[in-house]
Structure 1
Amino acid sequence: MPNSTTVIEFLLTRFSDVWELRLLHSMIFLLMYLASIMGNSLIVTVTTLDQSLHTPMYFFLRNLSVLDMCYISVTIPKACFIFLLDNRVISMVGCADQVFLMIFFATAEMLLLTIMAHDRYVAICHPLHYPMIMNPRFCVQMTLASVLSSVVYSGFHTGNTFRLHFCHSNVVHQFFCDIPTLMNLSCSDTLSNEIIIFISGVIVLIGSFNFITRSYIHIFSTVLKLPTRKERGKAFSTCVPHILVMTIFVISVAAVYMKPTSHSPKILDMITSFFYTIVPPFMNPIIYSLRNKQIKEAVRRITRRKLYSG
């Protein structure tokens, strides 16, 4: 285009240019990142080593933890790097990689949360048929279907975004590359992109949310009919953590992607994205590890086994 320069690299943005605040932000991000990696690694290790946790519920939880570790690793190490150093540059290819991986892991996590809701529905509402319905082959097939669907979904949106022409500016007002921020930098018509993102978001996000909601309506109606308070408490204890993770994830994703091109204050967009990129992977191990008796008992068994063998 005349009187414009084609962008070949982008500059990511920090929350502040004050060194002390940059150091504080990097420390907060780094601590949350390490806590997320350690917590999710603990879930993966325990559910792998303890035979009593080789069930569909913990199979999906293990996959969710792997996704969370990959998901948070896409953005946080780079963010800490740009907070501490003056080099905020990310190449066009690096930006595209970040967009692809972010959408891939987010979509796969949403689909996996939906499958986990179905698993809880079958376990509580149809316990006699549970081993037959949620058999190992079905669990693996559903997980692979989620991953492959996420690859296609992410590839389509990444390609559709980077076919745009960027010439207005190369400053991404965000600590990572994401589609809404990049569309603000495009000098191409982005209306079709916004419509496609909205429609696909409704199909994936709202569709999954509706499926999860219906599953839990059936679950809670069944749980309330259980004869003893102990049985009701046990059923609720397995469902409430899933609801919390799902709610945080759905709200944060919807707040970022299912709206028109943002003209809100940049710092507000960055804070919203903080909840979208960091909070779900950070909260997952806290909810599932600290509030799950089976996980805590498995940790004790594995610890005692290691101590005695040593």
Structure 2
Amino acid sequence: MMENHTQPTEFILIGFSTIKELQSVLLFAPCLVLYLFTIVGNTAVAAMIYLDSRLHTPMYFFLGNFSVAELLVTSTVVPRMLAGLMAGRKAISFGGCLTQFYFYFSLGTTVFLLLAVMSIDRYVAICHPLHYSTILSNSVCTWLAFGSWMTSFFAMIPPTILRALLSFCSSNQINHFFCDNAPLLRLACSDTHLIELWDFLLAILFVLSSFIVTTASYAAIISTILRIPSATGRQKTFSTCASHLTVVVIGYGTTIFIYVRPSKNYFSNTNKMVALLTSVGTPFLNPFIFTLRNKKVKEVFKDWLGHLRGSWRTKL
């Protein structure tokens, strides 16, 4: 326990304490394996896009940014979670908690802005194919990606400062495996209504607005696809969007469920499990979702594997 109305020196992340004796067996090994595959998969996708000229198009440029953002956002919480699963005391400093909060939500916001940008890319490619290279020039793509990153990082500065100024009381135990928003606010003695309103407005501004952009883009895309006379043409055109649409449904569905709510009191253990899924499972699946349904990426990947095998045989 801490003294009333103080700023703590550290927090205790409770994590998944309801399965203390079994948690290292049930969670540590699978989460570690998934995280390692996440690193390898997203790094491989980003590297292929950066190094192979066949993938130097707007669609893959945004996909490369998305893969890097996914890798970074999961790396803000999963390594500490894994350490907590194996440690007896799961402490995180006050500054470390705020740092984790800042990077988790700024990077998470970047992910959603990039999803919206990727939907715009698909809209232009399908609805205005003749003007695709003109509309999405190299400079436009660079500014869209740069804006997605910078807007998110600047937007999360005020919420982080507001949390640094809060007074805490009663307990320093956060009912989560990382410094998530609602469990952190529940420990505060200060009035958090202004912070909650600010958070809700940010969620509307970034998550829901990017979702609306994505929905509008796909409404136009579907309308265009339905006007294609041949079934083969419709299927081929839609297949270029299927991977992105799958990630959109998973990403927005889970995030809106957890975060687009106006009160800290909505947090529950269900949120914790959904957060675990989005922190570990989704970033692991994304490279497979994008590569398994994309002929060009699969072609590049096979060529890379062929070169690696050739190099390995030469050395032997």
2:232 aligns to what?
A: 230
CA distance in 1, matches of 2:185, 2:218: 37
Identical pairs, percent: 35
> 1:113 pairs with 97, 112, 115, which one?
115
Shift in Å at residue 294 of structure 1?
Answer: 1.3
Q: What CA deviation, in whole Å up to 9, does each residue of 1:249-272 have, x standing for no partner?
A: 112222222224344674323112
Contact 1:184-1:261 within 8 A present in 2 as well: no
Alignment size in residue pairs: 310
Q: 1:274 aligns with which of 273, 276, 279?
A: 276
How many Å separate the matches in 2 of 1:238 and 1:55? 14
Question: Which region of structure 1 is more displaced relative to structure 2, 131-140 or 27-36?
Answer: 27-36
- Look up the match of 2:288: 286
Query: Which of the numbers 62, 70, 93 marks the counterpart of 1:68?
Result: 70
| 2:184 equivalent in structure 1 | 182
Structure 1 residues 227 and 18: CA distance shift in structure 2, 3 A: same
Residue in 2 aligned with 1:146? 148
* Cα separation, partners in 2 of 1:4 and 1:209, compared to 1, 3 Å: closer
**Alignment match, 1:78:** 80
Contact persistence 1:14–1:22 (CA under 8 A):
no
Aligned to 1:298: 300
Q: Distance in 1 between matches of 2:43 and 2:229?
A: 37
DSSP 3-state at the match of 2:11: strand
**Equivalent residue for 1:22, pick from 21, 24, 34:** 24
Match of 1:10 in 2: 11
SS in 2 for 1:19: coil
Aligned AA for 2:282?
Answer: P
Map 1:89-108 onto structure 2 (within 5 A): 89-108=91-110
Is the 1:194–1:260 contact (alpha carbons within 8 Å) kept by the matching residues of 2? yes
Letter in 2 for 1:12: L
Contact 1:8 1:91 in 2 (8 A): yes
The aligned residue for residue 208 of structure 2 is: 206
The TM-score normalised by the length of structure 2 is 0.92
Structure 1 residue 90 displacement after superposition = 0.1
Q: Which range moves more in the overlay, 274-283 or 139-148?
A: 274-283
Aligned equivalents of 2:70 and 2:305: distance in 1?
Answer: 24
TM-score (norm 1): 0.94
Match of residue 261 from structure 1: 263
Q: Secondary structure at the match of 1:72?
A: helix
Query: Are the structure 2 counterparts of residues 3 and 55 from structure 1 closer, same or farther at C-alpha, using a change threshold of 3 Å?
Result: closer
* Superposition deviation, residue 56 in structure 1: 0.5
SS at match of 1:29: helix
Q: Give me the whole-angstrom Cα distance separating, in 1, the residues matched to 2:57 and 2:259.
A: 34
Counterpart-to-counterpart distance in 2, 1:4 and 1:133 = 55
Is the 8 Å Cα contact of residues 50 and 302 (structure 1) preserved in structure 2?
Answer: no
- Structure 2, unmatched stretches of 5+, are none
Aligned partners of 1:104 and 1:154 also within 8 Å = yes
SS in 1 for 2:146: helix
1:302 deviates by 2.1
Distance 2:266 2:202 in 1: 23
Provide structure 1 residue ranges, at least 5 long, that are not aligned to the other structure: none
